[in-house]
Amino acid sequence: MVKAAEATAAHREELLARLGRVFTRRESRLQAGKYVEGVLGDLPRKNGWSLAQQAGDRSPDKMQRLLHHAVWDEHEAMGIVRDFVVENLLSPDAVAVLDETGQQKKGTHTAGVARQYVGCTGQVANAVNVVYCTYASSRGHAHVGARLHLPQE
């Protein structure tokens, strides 16, 4: 079991090193590493406060700045993750799995929010829809991309 944990940590470090090039500032790159560690950790709730606590930050300000204001190329980051996953899970039986996930929203300020069909409720509601792509093989599976559905209006 220890060897598996060590291998996972080594892969995580390699992935974070590759992702470093998408950030224009050192501070953002370091905070992104803390964010990934928190998201992959065993926290019972993963929100700004719990991720900040896990990272040793006094408040969620740095995490929020990373997610809302830091300059980075999300499409390049998804490409790096995709390439990394394919390298590590490559298998002849691999497939891409596409899955639409909807989330109801009350307001109008979230990107992509509109009255639209939401699969999880089976009805039209004020919501956002995201399409996720997962690479799956007999060696494992991982998300490799996501796109927010933007209604015409």
Q: Domain range for residue 140?
A: 74-148
Task: Name the one residue in this structure whose structure tokens are 């990107």.
Answer: 111
Q: Is the domain of 84 the same as that of 61?
A: no
- With vertex at residue 37, the alpha carbon angle to CA 10 and CA 105, rounded to the nearest 5 degrees, is 140
Q: 142 to each of 76, 100, 135, 137, how far by Cα in Å?
A: 17, 16, 6, 9
19 within some domain: yes
Q: Is the domain of 50 the same as that of 101?
A: no
Q: Is the domain of 41 the same as that of 83?
A: no
Closest CA to 83 of 19, 5, 40: 19
Q: Is the domain of 60 the same as that of 14?
A: yes
85 within some domain: yes
Q: Is the domain of 35 the same as that of 15?
A: yes
- With vertex at residue 67, the alpha carbon angle to CA 65 and CA 72, rounded to the nearest 5 degrees, is 100
Q: Is the domain of 40 the same as that of 81?
A: no
pLDDT digits (tens, 9 = 90+) for 124-147: 998 999 999 999 999 999 989 999
55 within some domain: yes
Contact between 77 and 22 (Cβ < 8 Å)? yes
pLDDT of residue 4: 46
Task: Compute the distance between CA of residue 97 and CA of residue 51 in angstroms, rounded to an integer.
Answer: 29
Per-residue pLDDT at 73 exceeds 80: yes
The domain tally of the chain equals: 2
- The model's confidence at residue 82, banded by pLDDT at 50, 70 and 90, is very high
Q: Is the domain of 25 the same as that of 7?
A: yes
pLDDT of residue 1: 40
Task: Compute the distance between CA of residue 115 and CA of residue 84 in angstroms, rounded to an integer.
Answer: 36
Q: Is the domain of 83 the same as that of 140?
A: yes
pLDDT digits (tens, 9 = 90+) for 8-62: 677 888 988 999 899 989 999 999 989 988 888 888 998 989 999 999 999 999 9
153 within some domain: no
Q: Is the domain of 92 the same as that of 132?
A: yes
pLDDT of residue 74: 87
Contact between 97 and 133 (Cβ < 8 Å)? yes
Contact between 153 and 115 (Cβ < 8 Å)? no
